[in-house]
């Protein structure tokens, strides 16, 4: 298995051109994308719509390249955006890709970056920060660790 992180600059919350070009040039295959993690220039407060703008732009781009409906993108690719980089961080996004699979019992070679993704169920607002949320999150992390075939101490 090979895990990579591809950095891209962002000129606006909906600027997906860097990834779009990498997909057109086949430097990145859409099916290999596990996650897109980004920092937008929004203020990070309640009126910050830049995260939603970014998520919509990446959803549209990935749906087209994966040939799936937009509603299916979030089941296949983790999209995580954070606003609030005013004067501190340059807006950017990281595209995390994984190619190949390490079979159980197969040597993965020296320790290096490994990627896995797992999801929890959707939580009701009143469940935020509760033991139920913590338990579901723990279970999701354990599923991801299991997929990687690495000792928990390496996570």
Residue with structure tokens 């086949």? 26
Query: How many structural domains comprise the chain?
Result: 2
pTM of the model: 0.83
Strand partners, 93: 8, 38
Q: What is the pLDDT of residue 100?
A: 75
Mean of per-residue pLDDT scores for the chain: 89
Residue 147: predicted pLDDT:
83
Question: What pLDDT was estimated at residue 112?
Answer: 79
CATH (domain of 15):
3.30.1330.170
Query: How far are the Cα atoms of 26, 37, 95, 103 from residue 80, in angstroms, in the given order?
Result: 23, 5, 11, 28
Residues 96 and 137 in one domain: no
Task: Report the pLDDT averaged over residues 113-128.
Answer: 90
Same domain membership, residue 75 and residue 57:
yes
Residue 104, pLDDT above cutoff 90: no
Q: What H or E segment, with its residue span, contains residue 56?
A: helix 50-66
Is 88 a residue whose pLDDT tops 70? no
Give 13-35 as a DSSP string.
TT--HHHHHHHHTTSS-GGGEEE
22 shares its domain with 83: yes
Which range has the worst mean pLDDT, 49-53, 127-131, 151-155?
A: 151-155
Do residue 23 and residue 67 come from a single domain?
yes
- Tell me which residue range forms the domain holding 64: 2-107
Of residues 34 and 107, the one with the higher pLDDT is: 34
- Considering the domain architecture, whether residues 52 and 89 belong to the same structural domain is answered as yes
């Amino acid at each position: 298995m090979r895990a990579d992180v591809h950095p891209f600059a962002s000129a606006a919350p909906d600027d997906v051109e860097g990834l779009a070009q990498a997909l057109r040039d086949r430097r990145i295959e859409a099916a290999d994308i596990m996650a897109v993690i980004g920092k937008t220039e929004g203020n990070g407060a309640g009126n910050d719509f830049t995260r939603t703008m970014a998520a919509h732009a990446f959803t549209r781009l990935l749906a087209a390249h994966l040939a799936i409906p937009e509603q299916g993108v979030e089941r296949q690719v983790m999209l995580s955006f954070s606003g609030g980089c005013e004067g501190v961080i340059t807006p950017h996004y990281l595209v995390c890709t994984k190619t190949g699979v390490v079979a159980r019992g197969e040597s993965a070679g020296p320790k290096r970056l490994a990627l896995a993704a797992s999801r929890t169920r959707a939580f009701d607002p009143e469940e935020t920060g509760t033991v139920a949320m913590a338990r579901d999150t723990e279970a999701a992390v354990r599923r991801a660790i299991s997929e990687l075939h690495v000792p928990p101490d390496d996570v």
